[in-house]
Each structure stands twice: as C-alpha cells, then as structure tokens.
C-alpha cells in the first residue's frame, strides 16, 4: 500500500519514523512519501517532499507574519498528495496545517488517519466536529483523550505513548561517544531550548543568564538536528557552555537537572527521570491571544498528564533570570523538592504505559486499510 505521512515538527518526525518502521513490518509492499525530517528519512529510505523546518512557526503573530509561506506550503503539499495518490494519508499532530489537509483529503475521497491527536481539548474544542467529519480513524496517546472524544460522539483508538518506544530503544543500546558527556566531573545541567529557530532565539538567552551562578556545574545545550553549532554560537557568545549534537537522551541520561522549553521534551526529560524547570516565552501579542483561548491549567505534558503541578512552569514574564535561578536551586539543592518530583515521575511512568505504541498503531492501521 501507499502511505503519505505529514509531520510538521521535530517530535512528529520522531513519531513518524517509528510508525514508518512498524508499518513496513506489517506491509512488505509499503511505499512511503512524507513531509517530515531526518529521522523519517532514516526509516523511509527517501528524502521528504518538504522538510518540517521550512514550515514550523510558533505563536499566533508569527503564523500571521508567515501566512503566505504557510499557504504556499499547503498548496504544494495538496498537489503532491494528489500526485502520489496514497491509500491513506497519515497526519501527525501539527493541527494548524494538518486539519486543513484532512478536510482537503476527505473531499478528495482519500482515507485519512490521524496519529497523535491535536490538542483540541486545550482550546477551540469545536474543532472536534471537523475531525469527526474529515478523519476516518484517530489514534490517541493519552488515556484521557478517549473519554474526551467520546463526549463528542467519536470512538478513537488508544495506543499508548510512542515516546516510550524511543526511550526503550535508547536504553537498549545506551552508549555515548561525546567527550563532553563522558567526562566524570563536574555535574551536568542540560539545556533544551527547543527545535524551532524562533523558540531557540527567544528562550535560550534566558537559560544562559543563570550560568554564572553555578560555577561548579557544566551547562550543555542539546542541539536541534537541523541547526549547526555556528547558529548557537551567535547566541551563546561569552557564556561557558558546551554543545551536544547527538541524541538528546544521551545528554539527559547524564544530567543532574534540566531547563526545558515547553513541548514534547518536557515529557521526555521526566521519563528519563531528570528533574526539570519548564520555560515558555513568546511575543506579547501571541501570549495575550493564547491566554484568552487556551483552557487548560498547565502547558507541560508532564503536568497535563498528572493533572497537578509536578514540574514548575515559568511562562512569559516569570521566564526570567531570577525566577529560573530560584526554581533551579530547588531541584538542585532542595532535597525535598527533588525527591518529591522524582516520586511523581514514577507515577507518571505508570500513566504513560509501556512501549509498543507505534507497533500497536501500525497493526490497527493496516487492519483498517485491509477492511476498506
């Protein structure tokens, strides 16, 4: 069968790569075409039609400024999908772009699967009506999403969280070649400033401001795969910081603590048992719009899954040097805060579940397609 996948950011590239590998095991005649990144390339055996770094914009204002580019990408993608004529279009999160593709594909008579639900439970819940109309099967990764969709009269498939697949794979072949990480001392604090250019430029400078207060620690930045060290050096000039270009799990496995930009990395950091502080900052206009639209109590996946503040979230004005330092002190030197966070992480592991999400999704997808 022919599969067309669309992932618009780094986390989607990771999840898409795992899904491609499992679909290939189910369907020995599988043919893939995709929008994604390097991880999907490694599993799919071909270059992406479009790379996610050319289409990922963060914040309402930033999307508006780049609307012409986004609409152009959408038009190109629609044309490529029709030319490939897949048996199924598999959309991975990235709702602003992918929900438009779902509507287009549905009208074109294509089968549409959605792997990893958009966070419609966070804001504008009426988007579920469009999903119900345009998506044939939804595959969700959080248990609470099953009940949420049921309220809207929609049955979905819960397959567990694919992050556990990636983490399990890492733990099975755990090994590090980076001398920055293998040195015995001093202890290490990981900086994960995100995978998008804009969020790195916005948030990394705040992370760097606290470095002088911790002379006994090494600070190491997890480089996003699509940005070279020269890009980071334009931001880090004058700061004592190292860079890690490989798997960020290697960095986290050796970290005492981490400063993490809000996103999938917050959950990955917790699942690798690293105490963290979560940071988020965007333009004032984007923040004010989001504050009025988003209806959830937390922004990090850790807190959303646990439904309590397990990790501290420093958002917008509280994302500043003094507050970052205060919260970092707590997880480095406050034994009670650190111990309590690690205990909550153990409960988080239970809620997220076991590895095998990509395999379970691939089995269900292939079975549904054979029934069509």
Q: What percent of the chain has pLDDT above 90? A: 67
| Together in a domain, 317 and 360 | no
| Together in a domain, 60 and 108 | yes
| Together in a domain, 80 and 222 | no
| Alpha-carbon gap, residue 33 to 15, rounded angstroms | 15
Give the pLDDT score at 184.
Answer: 67
Can you give the CATH number for the domain in which 51 is found? 3.40.50.2000
112, 88 contact by CB (below 8 A): yes
| Together in a domain, 67 and 211 | no
| Together in a domain, 129 and 244 | no
| Together in a domain, 280 and 221 | yes
pLDDT digits (tens, 9 = 90+) for 12-25: 998 999 999 999 99
The residue whose two tokens read 């491609």 is: 20
| Together in a domain, 24 and 157 | yes
Q: Which range among 86-90, 223-227, 245-249 shows the weakest confidence by mean pLDDT?
A: 223-227
| Together in a domain, 277 and 154 | no
| Together in a domain, 294 and 362 | no
| Residues facing 90 on adjacent strands | 5, 113
| Together in a domain, 65 and 108 | yes
| Together in a domain, 198 and 261 | yes
**Confidence (pTM):** 0.78
Buried b (16+ CB within 10 A) or exposed e, 91-123: bbbbbebbbbbbbbbbeeebbbbbbbbbbbbee
Give the pLDDT score at 324.
Answer: 98
Q: Decide: helix, strand or coil at residue 366.
A: helix
Residue range(s) defining the domain that contains residue 36 = 2-162+356-371
| Together in a domain, 367 and 302 | no
Which of 273, 337, 349, 268 is closest to 309 using CA atoms?
Answer: 337
Report how many domains make up the chain: 2
């Amino acid at each position: 069968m022919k599969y067309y996948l669309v992932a618009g950011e780094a986390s989607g590239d990771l999840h898409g790569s795992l899904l491609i590998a499992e679909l290939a095991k189910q369907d020995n005649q599988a043919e893939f075409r995709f929008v994604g990144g390097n991880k999907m390339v490694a599993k799919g055996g071909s270059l992406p039609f479009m790379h996610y770094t050319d289409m990922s914009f963060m914040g309402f204002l930033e999307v508006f400024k780049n609307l012409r580019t986004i609409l152009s990408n959408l038009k190109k993608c629609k044309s490529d999908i029709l030319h490939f004529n897949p048996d199924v279009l598999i959309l991975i999160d990235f709702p602003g772009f992918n929900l438009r593709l779902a509507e287009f594909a549905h009208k074109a008579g294509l089968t549409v699967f959605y792997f990893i639900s958009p966070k419609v439970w966070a804001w504008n819940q009426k988007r579920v009506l469009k999903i119900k109309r345009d998506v044939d099967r939804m595959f969700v990764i959080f248990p609470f999403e099953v009940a949420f969709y049921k309220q809207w009269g929609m049955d979905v498939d819960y397959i567990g969280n694919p992050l556990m697949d990636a983490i399990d794979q890492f733990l099975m072949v755990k090994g590090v070649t980076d001398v920055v990480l293998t040195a015995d001392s001093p202890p290490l604090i990981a900086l994960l400033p995100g995978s998008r250019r804009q969020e790195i430029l916005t948030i990394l400078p705040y992370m760097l401001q606290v470095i002088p207060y911790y002379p006994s620690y090494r600070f190491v930045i997890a480089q996003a795969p699509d940005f070279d060290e020269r890009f980071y050096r334009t931001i880090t000039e004058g700061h004592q910081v190292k860079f890690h270009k490989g798997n960020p799990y290697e960095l986290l496995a050796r970290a005492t603590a981490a400063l993490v930009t809000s996103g999938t990395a917050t959950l990955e950091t917790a699942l690798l048992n690293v105490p963290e502080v979560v940071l988020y900052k965007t333009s004032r206009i984007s923040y004010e719009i989001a504050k009025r639209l988003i209806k959830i109590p937390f922004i990090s996946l850790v807190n959303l899954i646990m439904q309590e503040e397990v990790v501290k979230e420093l958002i917008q004005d509280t994302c500043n040097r003094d507050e970052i330092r205060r919260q970092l002190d707590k997880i480095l030197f406050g034994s009670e805060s650190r111990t309590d966070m690690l205990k909550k992480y153990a409960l988080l592991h239970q809620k997220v579940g076991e590895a095998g999400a990509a395999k379970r999704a691939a089995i269900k997808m292939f079975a549904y397609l054979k029934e069509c």
